[in-house]
Amino acid sequence: MPELLEAHNVVAGYGRGPDILQGSSLTVRQGQSQCIIGPNGAGKSTLLKAIAGLLPLRQGEIRFKGERIDGLRPDQILRKGIGFVPQERALFPKMTVRENLRMGGYILTDRAELEERTEDVLNQFPILRQRAGQNAGTLSGGEQQMLSMARTQIVKPDIVMLDEPSLGLAPRIVRQMFEIVDMLCDRGMTVVFVEQNVLMGLKHAKWGAVLDLGRTLFDGPAADILGDPRIQELYLGKAAAAA
């Protein structure tokens, strides 16, 4: 599979604070599902924000389809084909589900095309169609996460990055979230996600990366990470032993 996204030796941090990323690298191939794991503070979310253009690089470079994109604005990176769902979900709580989906297509200038894509996404997510006229702020946590993920589909990105898609959700809803990840992958979309639920994340990914102290320690098939005794001891602990 061709390389779609490449981050090389990325150094980044917040404001005038210390470097959170201290030379992290990541390679994502077309059509690949990749899970990024690591302890709290490892720089996982920071790496996604840097790729999405929300955080400037201090060193290093990021390439998408061979073209450098570090330094571009978030909206420019979205136009290139990179969608991002942050932990905060960033919904408009007093707007309806349908209106939130339309907001996901703010870079589209053809209104008819926006409406067509909105209907396509609602067809993909039947629960959201049932809630189409309901304000986003009244949805359950799982439904809000689903709406956040669905909204990225309006612009038909080449790659979707998800930051902690299972955060704060009940186990049953977590399974539904990863069913959506699987659905996106089955449709040929490239999906990269940060996940604290390590076992669940790696089981729903073909590739994995381990970050710690701002650096990429391991990059390889997810099954290899799950089976590596060192990774089990450091990051999976009792959960791996019980699996």
State the chain's mean pLDDT as an integer: 91
Answer whether residue 53 is part of any domain. yes
Contacting residues for 144 by C-beta, under 8 A, at least 6 apart: 89, 91, 136
Answer whether residue 46 is part of any domain. yes
Please state the domain count of the chain. Answer: 1
Answer whether residue 93 is part of any domain. no
Answer whether residue 14 is part of any domain. yes
What are the tens digits of pLDDT across the range 43-102?
999 999 999 999 999 999 999 999 999 999 999 999 999 999 998 878 999 999 999 999
CATH number of 212's domain: 3.40.50.300
Answer whether residue 172 is part of any domain. no
Query: What is the identity of the amino acid at 118?
Result: T
Weakest mean pLDDT among 113-117, 148-152, 218-222, 230-234 = 230-234
**Domain around 25:** 1-81+195-243
Answer whether residue 167 is part of any domain. no
Answer whether residue 151 is part of any domain. no
